Each structure stands twice: as structure tokens, then as C-alpha cells.
A and B are shown apart, each in its own frame.
Chain A
Amino acid sequence: MRTGIFIVLLILTAGFPGLQGYAQNSRFADNIDDTTRINKLNSLAGNFLKQNQYDSCLKYASQALTITENLIRSKSVINNPAYLKQSKYHKIKSLIFVAECVSVSNPLKATDTLLSALKLVKETGNKNQEAEIYAGIGEIYTMLAQDQPSLVNNLRSLAILRETGNKKGLAWQLTIVGLNHRNMGNYGDAMEYFLESLKVSREISDSLTIIEALLAIGFTYGYVEKWKDALNYQQQALKIYQQMNDSLGIARIYNDMGVTNMRAGNLGVALKQHQEALSIRLKSPEHYYTFASYLYIGNIYEKLNRLPEAIANYEAGLRYIKFSKYLVSGIDAQLNLGIVYMKSSDYQKALNAFSSVLELSLKIKDRTSEAQAYLYIAKVWLAQGEPLRALTWLRKAEKAAPESAIVFLGDTYQSIAETYFKLGDYKNAYINLKKYDGVKDSIIVSENLEKITTLSNRLEFENRQALESENYKKNLAINQAEIKRGKITRNFSLFGMFVAVILAVIAFVRFIEKKKPNSRLNDTLSDLKSTQAQLIQSEKMASLGELTAGIAHEIQNPLNFVNNFSEVNKELIGEMKDELAVGNWQLAKEISIDIEQNLEKINHHGKRADAIVKGMLQHSRTSSGVKEPTDINALADEYLRLAYHGLRAKDKSFNATIKTDFDETIGKIDIIPQDIGRVILNLITNAFYVVDERKKQQPEGYEPTVTVSSKAVLPPPTGGGTRGVQISVKDNGPGIPQKVLDKIFQPFFTTKPTGQGTGLGLSLAYDIIKAHGGELKVETKVDLGSVFMFHLPIQQNTK
């Protein structure tokens, strides 16, 4: 299915004058023999190429090449310019075959071969061959997903074809350039080329190029999700095939329309069309297309959740792929089959299917599908309640997944986290959730980016519609007139000859189309990856910003005292001097006491401002991971203010009564202040959130209150226990229902509306407290509120 374009280009050169001119010359009898052999070999190569038998094609093309090279070097040929030119023509032809044969396995070699052919064609001046070579180079670049150089070469080819007046070649090449533009997302430009191709094709009444142009236009409409127009063009193509009584062509369009309808969500219609196509395909020896039709049908059944039918069709399709050359396509089918088996809880068969995926992936060395196979095998084990076995496979998936396969990577991390969670290993669950979180951002960003691209493409596309609809009406009239006059029959014999080729072209174009968005997505993702870290950081800063917005204002309160008390002191010193000057010692002394007290206040509020700034900085820093002696009361108090004023800054209507009850006997304890601060902040923020929610529902007679307290816990006199500290955050919110209570420490669980909570706060808090050797607990009563408390053991070496 990868042959396509090269063979089509043979059509371009079909009009070459051929071998007349030298055959009469008997002096070159052996050379004529050679020429006949070369012709035979080249024609064999061409035939094998049509059948996608690259090895055989390469063998015969290479043989032809060797003979031509010997010929070109022989004296008799060198002395006969006409014959030399002829031989060079054959050599170029063979070179193009060789390039085609190796284009998939070794695109670099294919390009080199074509470049040497290009050098040769400059000597012979055969414009059609030159156009063919440029188009061939363009095609290799398309295959390598390098759109820009592909376009450059295809445009060179197009320019030559415009010059030579090879209308049929021009019609093809216009479609190819259109596809280039479409791959680059320039749907408007693509449309212009397709329309010109349609116009040229109709001028020469070439049904094949008409159909290709119509389908290209149809697919472009599909790209911008204009299903009605897409179907309209596909319908036109269908009509032509029906006029020509070409069943395989009809089947092809049914599949195309089925795809369009499936994407448009008309599953019932799509199913019928694919089934129609299948009934035709079953009579044809092209097993690949039979397989593809089964796959489409299975897909739709899967979407309709009719799993037994989906399985039946996937399995039927897989029987056909065995006879086909495209074993690789079996991967998709096996994967789908496995997923459906898994959905139907038939785990053994699911495992079999995924093992086949693995086997094929290893064979073709495709790391993405290999990783997919591991991931799904793991999912089967997970579904069967065997997390340990699943974990082994998940690790393999993580290892195998290329970074570009970011969606699978995200899926894998999520599954790993789930598995660890099931195993009770919260630390590793958290680590993997964090990895998932990192990847998730990229996925979301790339999805959004894609959405934006589609949207802007659609806009640009619609701008070109006025122009398009004018042409459309004119062309349609011409087309109908042609069909009526029966002009179309002119191309019948040609069509018979090339039908297989054309199908291959379509398959190839499809293949490219399928490949394209992925590779573009990968490019985008690799670009995004570099900005991903920044994105996450800025997300962090945004949440910090919300909290610190309150703090920036809050610092004005202590500053108010610092400024004003110092100004008062200045005045007081003036007054004191006056009193001293008149000898009023007693009054001067009293004033000096006031000054002293004010200085203490200045000092106190200065320190307070300092603490606010430090707290802010501490929150923005990542955890040092080092335990240090910390006054946990001050820490709790500071984060209470931080949370309160942060929320106030965000929501002016927010208010709550804050109560504190700190046990001053605790002193300093060894903790990681940033981490414990984060826990306290989280508990307090949650408490504020629930009381605020309740206040919104119950505006009268409810006083939102949050109490933060600390208590030194002494070991029981009987011994055995350790000294510790208990911190609790109490709210008078609505309480937590039992259903929710079971899940609150689970990662990603949140009761907040989508986008408002990450669902990681409490699970993170849980992990931090656990890492400190403590315990996080909750007590709750419906309608009365909840108390979150954690206990931290105090080490003996605490100061």
C-alpha cells in the first residue's frame, strides 16, 4: 500500500516516444537484445511494485540498472547519441524503481538514488521524468513527515508539468500539492489545488483524476467537520464509479462515506455503508480491504457497545489480514479486539490478543505499540485483582513507551499509581501520580492546541467558500454533461489497467493521512515538553499568587504601626526636649517612657512584617526536606493568617470567625516546616471552604467558625508511648458523609467542582504526616462539622 505515487507517475511518462529510432540499426544487435531485456526487466519490476513485492521489484530493477550502466559505458552506445539518450532514459526509469522499492525501508538511500536520477535527467532533458523525480522526492519527504521540503519538490514537479502541458500528470500533481497543503493544515490552499485539479481533470475528461479530486475535496470538508459537504463530494465520486460500473470503486466510496458518517456520529448509516462495502470486498482478492472493512464495522459495533458483534467482526477481519502483506495493520485490530474482550470480562482471550500485539510490535520494533501491549496486559491483570503482576507489566510499559507517546505514558503512570494504591504503597502511588500530573498537563495543552488549530483552520476555510461554491456549480454542470455524453468510457481500458495501482495510491494517501496528525502532534508535544516545566511552575506561582495577594496587603497593617509610632516618637522627642529645656524633669521622664513603649511596638510590628514576608518566601520555596526546630504554634498561626487573607483577597464576601487555642508548653519541635506548613494550610483552606459553602446555603443564623488548636501529648504514665504534639483544625461545616469519608485521602478525590480542586491536597497531607512518623485522622458529625487532626511524635533530641 506504500507504492502509490511512484506508479502513478509512470502514467506521466507513459507518453515517452519509446524505443523507435534505433531498432532498425542492425549494427547494435546485441544492444537491441540488451534493450529488450532492460524493457522486460523494468516491466517486471513495475509489475512486482504494483503488487508491493519490493524485494522482487528491487531485484529486477537492479538487474536492469546493471545492464543499462554497462550499455552506457560501451563504446557503441557512447558513439550513438540517440541510443545513449535512450539508455539514460531506461537507467532513470530503473533508478526510480529502485528508489521506490527502498523508500520505506531506507528513505535516505531512496532520496540519494532519486538525486542521481535527477542529475542524469538534466543531461537527457526529459521533462516528464524530471517532474516524476521531483514528485518522488516530495513523496519521500511526505513519508518522513517533512511537509515543507515535500511541498517545495512537489511544486517543482508541478511547475514542469504546467510547462509541458501534460494535463493528466498536472491533474495528479495538483492533487498531490493540495494534499501537501492539507497536511500542513492549510485547508484553504489545499482546496484551491484540488479545485484546479478537478477543473483540469474535467477538461481532459479523466474520470480517475476527477474522482481523486472529488474525494480530496470531500476529505478536506471532513477535516473541518463539514460532514454534509464531505458526503456531497463523496456522493459525486460514487456516481462516477456507478456510471463506470466499477464495484471496487463503489466499495471504496462506501468505506469513505462510512468513515465520514462515523465521525459525524451517524453510526447507523456508517454501519450500513461499511457493510455494503464489505459485501463487495468479499468478492475481491484484495484481502487488506476486506480486513479494513471488517475493522470499520467492528469499530462501530464497539462504539454502539454491541460487544459480541464487535468481537465477531474483529476476528473475521484478522483472518483476512493473515493473507495480506500488511501484517502491521493487524496490531490495531488485535488491540481493539483485546479491549473489547476486556470490556466483556473475557480476560484470557484479552490476554491472547494483547500478546499478539506484543509479538507483532517486537517484530516491527514499534515501541509505542509495544508499550501499549504491556499497558493493556497490565490492565487485564489489574482487572483480575492481581496488582503485583500488573506492576511488572506496567514497569515494562513505562520503559518501552517513547516520550512522544505521551498519552500512553500518562495512562501508564495513572495505572501504576492506582496499582501502588491498591497495594497500599502510597508513597509510590503519589510519585507516579505526580508523574501523571506532569504528563497530564501536556496532554491537555496539546488537546487544546489541536482544538484551536482546528478552529482557526475552519475559519480560514470558510473564508474561501465563496470562491469555491462558484466553481463548484460550474464544474458540476460540466461533469454531468460529460457523463451523459459518455465521454467517460474513453478511460475505461486505462482504468482497468491501473485499478490496483489507484487503490494502492488511495491506501498510501490514507496511510500518510493517518500518520500525519500523529507526527505533527509529536512535534507539537516535543515543543510543548520544553515549555511544560515552565507551565507547571507558572501554575504553582498562580496559586501562590492567590495566597500572597492577601499577604501583600496584609503587610500594610504592621507598616501602619511602624510608620505612625515612629512619627509619634519624633514628635514626642521634640516635646521631651522642650520639657528638658524648661527643667521639667518629671514630664520629660514620662514622655521618655511613652517613647520607649512606642519603640517596643515598632519593633514588634517590624518583626511581624518580617514574619509575613518570610512565610511568603517559605511557601514559594520547595521543601528543603530537612527537619529543623520549629515553633509549630507560630507556624500554624502564620498559615492561618495566610489562608484567611488569601481567601479574602480572592473573595471579598468570604468571612469566618477564627479561634485559636495554642498550647504554649510545646516549644520547638523537629519538623520540616515547609511540609507541615503545607499540611496546616491545606487543612485550614479546606475548613474555610466548607464553612463558606455552608454559609452560602444558609445565610442566616449560621456563624462560620474555624478553630485551630495545638496540644502537647504526654506519654502514658504506664510507659510505652512517646511524647508528641497534636494539631487540630475544626470547622462547623456540614460534616462529611460516610460515602465521601472513605475516599478523602485518596489521590484525585475531590468534592469541589471541576477545575477548583486538584484532589491531591489531603492525600499529599496524609503522606507528609506519615513521613513524619505521625498520623492524620478525621472525626466528623453530619451538620456539626469535622475535626482534622494530626499527631506528630517528638524526638528526644528536640530543643
Chain B
Amino acid sequence: MKILVVDDEKDIQSLFEQRFRKEIRNGEIEFVFAFSGEEALTCYGKCQHEAVLILSDINMPGMSGLELLRRIKQIHHEPPPVVMMITAYGDAENYNKAMELGADDFIVKPVDFIALKEKIKSII
């Protein structure tokens, strides 16, 4: 299972790799990282048949996570990827916007990785 993680903060890679080190070691999950919306879109274009799950930040310079979400949902792909938004901005407006655009989940930072892991496992 391939997961695309999108965030403008570089440390997010190290964090995910350590948090999911057992799953990575066992080959259960494979992570791909993108550090901007644009990069994520390119990456998704290249490996869309592999990516099952996209975890994206919302507030990023340039293309925002919501814009990325909108574009990904426009690309018709079967089965459609599950997109979870991860953001520091847990306000109602952001939430509603994300839901409107077809986000599958909305996670507020700081991330509870135990809960996240369970969610991911339920998708697999």
C-alpha cells in the first residue's frame, strides 16, 4: 500500500518514517513524500495507480491542500484514492470546505498517530 504524504514541512518525512517504522520494515506501507501541492500533483500523475491514500496538509505556500484535493478529485481514477486532510487549522470553515471538495477525513494537528494508524489500517 502506497501513501502519498504532502506537507511543506520537511521534518514530516522523518516523523512519518519513525512513526510507521514497523509497518515500513514489514513492507505493509510504503510512503512517498511531496513538499508542495504542485509536487504532489506531479507525483500523483506518475504513480496514481499505486497511491491508495493521500495525506495532505492544507496550508502550504503556492497550491494549497484544498486546491490539491480539488484537482485530485477531478482526475477520474478507479478506485478513487482516499484523501485525508491534515491541518493545524481545525476551524469549521476549513472543515466544511474540505468536505465539500470530497475529502474522506479531516485530521487536526498535532496528529494522534495511534488514531491515524487505526484509520489507515481500516482502509487497508
Contact = CB atoms under 8 A, between A and B. Distances in A.
A299 B62 CA distance: 60
A652 B95 CA distance: 11
A538 interface: no
B94 interface: yes
B9 A557 contact: yes
Contact of A601 (B14, B63, B64, B111): B14
Which of A563, A605, A656: most chain B Cβ within 10 A?
A563
B111 A560 contact: yes
A649 B94 CA distance: 10
Contact of A560 (B66, B93, B110): B110
Contact of A557 (B62, B63, B109): B109
Given A553-B88, A559-B110, A567-B113, A655 B67 contact: yes
Contact of B61 (A553, A567, A652, A656): A656
B11 interface: yes
A553 B95 CA distance: 14
A597 B14 CA distance: 10
A491 interface: no
B15 interface: yes
Contacts of A703: 62
Contacts of A63: none
Contact of B59 (A597, A648, A657): A648
B88 A557 contact: yes
B93 A652 contact: yes
A564 B93 contact: no
Interface residues of A, number: 30
A752 B59 CA distance: 26
Interface string A559-599: 11111110110001000000000000000000000100110
A541 interface: no
B19 interface: yes
Contact of A658 (B61, B91, B93): B61
Contacts of B11: 561, 601, 605
Contacts of B59: 645, 648
A565 B18 CA distance: 9
A373 B31 CA distance: 79
Interface string B87-104: 011110110010000000
Contacts of B110: 556, 559-560, 562-564
A595 to B, nearest CB: 10
A178 B99 CA distance: 63
Contacts of A559: 109-110
A557 B94 CA distance: 16
A565 B15 contact: yes
A588 to B, nearest CB: 16
Contacts, number: 62
A696 to B, nearest CB: 15
Interface string B59-92: 1011110110000000000000000000011110
Report the interface size class on chain B: 20 to 34
A554 interface: yes
B15 A553 contact: no
A657 B61 CA distance: 5
B88 A598 contact: no
Contacts of A598: 14, 18
B71 to A, nearest CB: 14
Which of B19, B61, B67: most chain A Cβ within 10 A?
B61
Nearest to A562: B110
Contacts of B14: 597-598, 601
A265 B15 CA distance: 72
Interface string B1-27: 000000001010011001100000000
Which of A560, A561, A565, A601: most chain B Cβ within 10 A?
A560
Given A567-B113, A568-B18, A560 B89 contact: no
A652 B108 CA distance: 17
Contact of B109 (A556, A601, A645, A658): A556
B88 A568 contact: no
Contacts of A652: 66, 93-94, 97
Contacts of B89: 553, 648-649
A218 B18 CA distance: 84
Given A553-B89, A556-B88, A567-B113, A561 B61 contact: no
Nearest to A605: B11
Nearest to A704: B62
A649 B87 CA distance: 13
B15 A564 contact: yes
B93 A568 contact: no
Contacts of B108: 556
Contacts of B88: 553-557, 560
Contacts of A560: 88, 109-111
A554 B88 CA distance: 6
A541 to B, nearest CB: 20
A568 B15 contact: yes
A197 B62 CA distance: 75
B62 A655 contact: yes
Contacts of B111: 560, 564
Nearest to A705: B62
A651 to B, nearest CB: 10
Given A563-B110, A567-B113, A657 B62 contact: yes
A561 B9 CA distance: 10
Contacts of A601: 11, 14
Given A565-B18, A657-B61, 12 more contacts: A557-B88, A559-B109, A560-B109, A560-B110, A560-B111, A564-B19, A568-B19, A597-B14, A598-B14, A652-B66, A652-B94, A656-B61
Interface of B: 9, 11, 14-15, 18-19, 59, 61-64, 66-67, 88-91, 93-94, 97, 108-111, 113
25 contacts: A553-B88, A553-B89, A556-B108, A557-B9, A557-B88, A560-B88, A560-B109, A561-B11, A561-B15, A564-B15, A564-B110, A564-B113, A567-B113, A568-B18, A568-B19, A597-B14, A605-B11, A644-B61, A648-B59, A652-B66, A652-B93, A652-B97, A655-B61, A655-B64, A655-B67
Task: Sort A-B residue pairs by CB-CB distance and give the 10 closest, nearest first.
Answer: A556-B88, A560-B110, A560-B109, A556-B109, A563-B110, A553-B89, A568-B18, A657-B62, A553-B88, A658-B61
